[in-house]
Chain A
Amino acid sequence: MLILIDGKPFDGPEDTTVAVALLMAGQTMFRRSISGEPRAPLCGMGICFECRVTIDGCAHVRSCQIPVREGMEIRTG
């Protein structure tokens, strides 16, 4: 399934969450914390909010809760 991660295409797994797709693409940083630290998923169940990315222009989406879809545009940081 083709998605865009920070403008770059990635052919990733289907039937999974955006978080897993990003991790499989080798993405280590999902967002930057207030003090600039790189952050990535922690709890895997939609509680910690560390996996937030911008999906199709919508900010602060918990990627571990969203199924990945063809053509999704994901922005990290």
Chain B
Amino acid sequence: MSLPDAIVVGAGIVGAACARELSHSGLRVTVCESGVVGGGATAAGMGHLAVMDDSEAQFALTSYSQSLWRNLAAELPNDAEYLPCGSLWIAADEEEMAEVHRKDRYYKQRGIPVEVLDAKQLAEAEPNLRPGMAGGLIMHADGVCYPPCAAKFLLERSGAQLLQGRRVVAVDDGGVLFADGTELAAGTVVMATGAAITDLFPQLAVAPRKGHLLITDRYPGFVKHQIIELGYLKSAHSIASDSVAFNVQPRRTGQLLIGSSRQYGVTDGAVESAMLSRMLSRAVQYMPGLQHLSSIRAWTGFRAATPDKLPLIGRAPRLCNVLLATGHEGLGISTSLATARLIGDELLGRVSAIPREPYHPARAFC
């Protein structure tokens, strides 16, 4: 077995995307995954392919990545369940409607296809929303996918060697050390391990942010767009308290994926009935019909969160050959392709389509 040029640690969506990017750039890649390909937060999350405007840097990364997803869409296999359903941000009152208009201006200035809906148009677009909503913003280019199969596809396309069931316990400029005591040397190591990055880099300001989700039986047509309440942004912003925000996604199967919740400082992955109840109550407030639907399963996952809500993409400080690709919070699926491209750019000295500085890991080392 010839030595790899690069080791990617983690075969979630970010690791798989990095493996494909580096492979296509001519490197021999080996991917190490302690669990299942496309497991971890990749399997737990919502598969939203979204553009967000929390900051210029977040907008740049999400919109760049979305264009890469669009280019890939035709190649995605059926089981990746790509669905260009659009996102619908909904406003409950005039204050949130002002935010809708702000977003509308922001995105239009940057060439993102969006459309404001008034109360009547919103009710027509999504009849199962409760009456009395103020309106919303449709982001036409947003979509959803089924991340575990998207990750599997990216990994297969990479042609990378997969070392499954191998857990990395140490990493340095020479390569990685596995839990079984064996080592693997390579010129470059890319860390795409999600929130577990702090096992190997305890000084990194990345924290697990627990989220709950629930999936229903098949109700095709009940929801047509990915729907998010504008209060979602307040939830994503909060850094201290547990929060829930209404988020529902139609799957191509006709099932509905309902979220979302955020908790800090919880490391136990058990489903908490109080949190689930709170999240579902919020959902039913927006879509009363949900309460009658049959739910098949609830689960949790841990997002990798950073204090400034931007991921860590680039060389790890004080190391030359180790790059980090983590800290994506709720945007891992959305920004995986752009993350991979930036990693490839930095490794190979290419100019990136967007500035790389805002995501540089140096800022997150204590």
Contacts and interface: CB of A to CB of B under 8 A. Distances in A.
A59 interface: yes
A62 to B, nearest CB: 10
Interface residues of A, number: 4
A64 to B, nearest CB: 16
Interface string B292-331: 1010000000000000000000000000000000000000
A20 to B, nearest CB: 22
B292 to A, nearest CB: 7
A58 B294 CA distance: 10
A60 interface: yes
Interface in A9-23: none
Contacts of B292: 58
Interface string B254-296: 0000000000000000000000000000000000000010100
Nearest to A62: B294
A24 to B, nearest CB: 26
B229 to A, nearest CB: 26
Nearest to A61: B294
B219 interface: yes
Contacts of B253: 34
B57 to A, nearest CB: 42
Nearest to B217: A60
Contacts of A59: 217, 219, 294
Contacts of A58: 292
A60 B220 CA distance: 12
8 contacts: A34-B253, A58-B292, A59-B217, A59-B219, A59-B294, A60-B217, A60-B218, A60-B294
Interface of B: 217-219, 253, 292, 294
Closest 6 pairs between A and B when the two form their complex, measured CB to CB: A60-B217, A60-B294, A59-B219, A58-B292, A59-B217, A60-B218
